[in-house]
Chains A and B, each alone.
Chain A
Amino acid sequence: MTNSSNFGTGRISWLWFALACLALLIAPALFDVNTMTVLLIWSLFALSLGLMWGYAGILSFGHAAYFGLGAYTFAVASMNIGESTLPLLLALLIPALLAAVIGAMMFYGRISDVYMGVITLVVTLIIFKFINSTAGDAYRIGEARLGGFNGIPAFPILNVPGQTDIPIFGLGLYYVVAASLLICYLLCRWILASWFGRVLVGIRENESRIELLGYSAPLYKTAIFTVSAAMAGLAGCLFANWAEIVTPGLFSLGQSAEVIIYTIVGGLGTLIGPMLGAVGLGFLKLLLGEQTLIDNSLLLGAILVLVVLLLPSGIVPTFMRWRQKRSQATAARHRANSTRRRRRQHGDGA
C-alpha cells in the first residue's frame, strides 16, 4: 500500500498531538478546572459517537443510554465496593455488554437504518423511564438505592488505585479525564489505521460489497458499536465523578441529541471534529446556562440548522478542505512564478 492510502482516515500529526498534550497540561492554569473537566468529558462522549458514526456509518439516536449506564454503574458499584478501580472497569464493561447484545440483534437481524435509529432511541427512553420510576426502598442494588428522579448522590468518587483514602477530584480529576481522552483518541487512531478500521470504512462506503469480499459486516458493526459504547460508558463514569451525583437526566433524549449536534457541527468523518464541536458548543451551553434570555436548546438547534445548511460536512472538514485548496493554490502559484523566472532568465541569456 502506498503512503498516500489511508482510507480517508487521515494520519496523526505527532507535532499537533504534542501541542495538544501541552495545551491540556497548562490549561488549568488559564481556565476554570471544573469547566475544562466537563468539556473534556463531553469531548470524549462525542469522540465515541464520532468514531462509530463517522467511520462505520452507524448512527445511534440513543447514545446517552451507554453514557448514563456508565455513570450509574460506577455509582452503584462504588457504593457497594468502595475502592474505585473495579467500578471504573465495570462502567466500561456493562455498557459494552449491553451494546454487544443490542448491536448483535440489530446487525445480525439486518434491520434498516431507520429501524436501527428507532431501536437505539427506544432503548434509551426505556432506561430513562425505568430509572425515573425507581424511587423507594424496593429499588436498591446492594447498598445503592437508585433513587428514582433524584438519582444517586454521595457515592464514593474515584480514588488512587488501592488507596481509598486518597480521592481524585478537582485538578486530579481533570488530569485523569485529559489522559482518558488522549488515550481514547490514540485508540481510535489505532483502530482506524488497522485492517479492522479499514473494513469499517468499507462498510460505511458499501456494506454489500464488503460482504461480497467475504467480511461479516454484522460482526464488524457489532464490534465497533461495543467499543463506542465502552467509550461512552467511560465518559459517563467520569461525568459521575465530576458531578458527584447521577440522575435519570443522563439517559434523556436531550443528552443524546446534544452529542449528535456536537458531532455534526464539529464534522463527521474526523476524530478531532466531534471533540472540538463538544468543547465549543459545550462551552456555549455553559455560558447560556448563566442567563435566562435565550433558551439553550433553541440556540443549539439554530446552530445545527445553520451548520447543516452552510457547512454540510461540518466545521473541521470544511476548514481542512479550505486549507488543502489554499496550499494547492500556493503551490501552483510558486510553480507558475518559477516557470516565469526561468523563461525570463532564458530570454535574457538569449
Chain B
Amino acid sequence: MSETVVETRDLSVRFGGVHAVNNVNFSLKDRELRCLIGPNGAGKSTFFKCLTGQVQVGHNNGRVLIKGHDVTGWRPYDIVRLGVGIKTQTPSVMNGLTVEENLWLSARRVNSRETVREVVQAVMAQVSLEGIARRQLGELAHGQRQLVEIGIVLAQRPWLILLDEPAAGITHAEADRLVEIIHEVNQKATIVVVDHDMQFVRSLGGHVTVLHQGAVLREGPVDTVLADQKVREVYIGSRAK
C-alpha cells in the first residue's frame, strides 16, 4: 500500500462572503496521477494555490500536509524546497531571459554547477525545446511558453508535480506529447493536474476529483466520474459526450 503524500484536512478559504474552498478533505498517494476538474468558479485554482502556498491558509481553516510536513501557512519557496514542482495557470516565466536560462535557474537549485548543463539539455530534449533554446521567452507564443514552464518544472526533478491547466493554448500534437511526458514522469513522481479540457483529462486517465462550489462533489476513476449523472448536471451539462 503506497503512502499518502498530500493531504488536506477540513480546508476552507473564504473571499469575503464567498466560500472558494469549503471544508475539503483530499488525499493523494505516492506516484498517483490525479486530475482536479470542475466548472468555472468551482474552486480548483484556489485549492491548487492552497497546496502551493500562493494562497495563505489560516491555522483555523484546516491543514495542508505534504509528505508528513504541515505546510499550512508556508511560503511557496519553502514548499518547493520539499521537492515540489509547480506550474501556474498562466505561464509564469522570466520573459527577458532565454529558454535555456529559464531552465538553468530552475535546475541549478537542485544540481551542482557541473551537472546542471546536462540536466538542462536533457529537459530541452524531453520537452522538444532545443530549437528555441536561445530565444527569449517574451518572443514566444503562448503554447511554447506553456511547454517551457513545464520544462522549468521538470528541471527541478520534483517528486510531486502540481500542474494548473498545462494544456491551455497548446496544439493537439503538443497536448498528445504532453500526455506522454506526464505518463513518463508519473513513473517516478506524484502528479496533480488541474484542467477543464475533458479530452485532455480523459487522455491522462487515472483518478479524478470533481470540485463544485468549493467542495468535493465526486472522486474516482475518470470514466466512472465523467459518466456520473450529478457530475454531468453540474459541470458537463449538454456538452457531455
Contacts and interface: CB of A to CB of B under 8 A. Distances in A.
Contacts of B77: 211-217
A5 B94 contact: no
Interface residues of A, number: 24
A254 to B, nearest CB: 32
A202 B93 CA distance: 9
B7 interface: no
A214 B80 contact: yes
B92 to A, nearest CB: 4
B86 interface: yes
Interface string B122-140: 0000000000011000000
B152 A213 contact: yes
Contacts of B105: 198-199, 202, 210, 213
Nearest to B77: A211
B202 to A, nearest CB: 28
A212 B52 CA distance: 8
Contacts of A334: none
B116 A214 contact: no
Contacts of A7: 97, 101
B182 to A, nearest CB: 19
Given A5-B104, A213-B80, A213-B156, A208 B92 contact: yes
Contacts of A208: 54, 76, 88, 92
A214 B95 contact: no
Nearest to A219: B77
Interface of chain A, main secondary structure:
helix
**10 shortest A-B CB distances, which residue pairs?**
A205-B94, A214-B80, A209-B92, A211-B77, A211-B76, A206-B94, A214-B81, A212-B86, A205-B96, A202-B105
Contacts of A216: 75, 77
A187 B113 CA distance: 21
A8 B96 contact: yes
A16 B95 CA distance: 30
A212 B94 CA distance: 12
A212 B98 contact: no
B120 interface: yes
A14 interface: no
B117 A1 contact: yes
A2 B130 CA distance: 13
Nearest to B88: A212
B104 A201 contact: no
Contacts of B88: 208, 212
B195 interface: no
Contact of B109 (A4, A206, A213): A213
A216 B109 CA distance: 11
B100 interface: yes
B104 to A, nearest CB: 6
B80 A206 contact: no
B190 interface: no
B76 A5 contact: no
A76 B134 CA distance: 53
A213 B96 contact: no
Given A212-B76, A213-B152, A215-B77, A205 B104 contact: no
Interface of B: 52, 54, 75-77, 80-81, 86, 88, 92-98, 100-101, 104-106, 108-110, 113, 116-117, 120, 133-134, 152, 156
A201 B98 CA distance: 12
Contacts of B98: 5
Contacts of A205: 94-97
Contacts of A195: 108, 113
Contacts of B120: 1
Nearest to A217: B77
Contact of B100 (A2, A8, A202): A2
29 contacts: A1-B100, A1-B104, A2-B133, A2-B134, A5-B100, A5-B101, A7-B101, A8-B97, A198-B101, A199-B105, A201-B96, A205-B94, A205-B95, A206-B92, A206-B94, A208-B76, A209-B93, A209-B94, A209-B152, A210-B94, A211-B76, A212-B52, A212-B76, A212-B86, A212-B88, A213-B106, A214-B77, A214-B109, A215-B77
A117 to B, nearest CB: 22
A206 B116 contact: no
Interface in A52-66: none
Contacts of B134: 2, 4
Contact of A212 (B92, B101, B104, B110): B92
B97 A202 contact: yes
B104 A198 contact: yes
Given A211-B76, A212-B92, A214-B81, A201 B100 contact: no
Contacts of B133: 2
A195 B134 CA distance: 19
A208 to B, nearest CB: 6
Nearest to A201: B97
A5 B105 CA distance: 12
Interface string A1-21: 110110110000000000000
